[in-house]
Structure 1
């Protein structure tokens, strides 16, 4: 487990170097951690998919109990106005602090780029050490998903005068939660 914790620490350091935040929690603490992040950042509404993990931990119910409106359908419509978006991501890359969405569902992409505050949930067992390791994993996917996106920190861009702006092409804030026991 120590090797995994070092991998998680490397992931967290690299994510934080690009202004993302990282949490390392057990599956039992996951729902409350998501709720606390959104409460601490005054996020009153979010969109998310009711995945098997989300159902198992009661994520939607926990958020609602904490006063957060949850939309699990009409994602294209709701992601325009919801301030939060939550997805499970399929992989992480420690050396970059990046997470990877590999999905056929376009709603997962919308939930990661439309809201002001994005939370990605990654299983610790799916974090690899390097970029090259990730491509080895992706090469083995059969069938290959319709969408594969690498997400590294909040959205950043600069204009011709090199004036940096956050949040133009994606979220203003991003947190990744590593579920250490999955």
Structure 2
């Protein structure tokens, strides 16, 4: 599968399960997108791309109410969370996050909206292609927590009625941004 095919397949599969996939050109367009779509407070945990691109400062400059500390105390007032992704699986439209840090888990599961930054170079064809990356993540920390996210949270375990957002976000926005980081060990 070519790079273009992986991006197209990932976008189609993620969209088919309810995610919103948006291709953006650079960090400036990410800030503009978030300023237009967050609509309240945003949980911004520490992760590689957030630090590298100084997202906290840029978001605050754009007028976004950005929460960067004391997540347990402040999470209730946030309607959005922003994380990166270590990589994604094209065949299922799945994001994969190394979520050992509690702040990453809180930002990706508590708010109604989850925004995810993903470098298109980190879209792998399928689970088999992810095995070397997962092994490398496990070597780095054998007790890490890996989250697989495919679309907004959904469940049908009560009366077999599909419900969106019971165990996590109602909306999943995947922002494809080239040049973030092509290293699957980084978010």
- Equivalent positions of 1:117-132 (< 5 A) are 117-132=113-128
Give the structure 2 partner of residue 32 of structure 1.
29
Deviations 1:49-104 (A, max 9, x none): 24342234332233223321001111222222200100111111111111111143
**Pairwise CA RMSD of aligned residues?**
2.1
Give the structure 1 partner of residue 64 of structure 2.
68
Matched pairs, number: 178
Give the Å deviation of 1:22. 0.9
Give the Å deviation of 1:31. 4.4
- Equivalent positions of 1:137-152 (< 5 A) are 137-141=133-137, 142-143=139-140, 144-152=142-150
Q: Which runs of 5+ in 1 are unaligned?
A: none
Q: What is the rounded CA distance, in whole Å, between the counterparts of 1:109 and 1:31 in structure 2?
A: 26
Matched-pair contact (CA < 8 Å) for 2:86–2:96: yes
Q: What is the rounded CA distance, in whole Å, between the counterparts of 1:20 and 1:48 in structure 2?
A: 20
Matched residue SS, 2:60: helix
Give the Å deviation of 1:126. 2.1
Give the structure 2 partner of residue 57 of structure 1.
53
Moved segments of 4+, more than 4 Å: none
Q: 1:113 aligns with which of 109, 115, 139?
A: 109
Matched residue SS, 1:171: coil
Query: Given the two structures, how large is their TM-score scaled by the length of structure 1?
Result: 0.86
Matched residue SS, 2:43: strand
Q: Does 1:98 align with 2:94?
A: yes
Give the Å deviation of 1:145. 4.8
Give the structure 1 partner of residue 151 of structure 2.
153
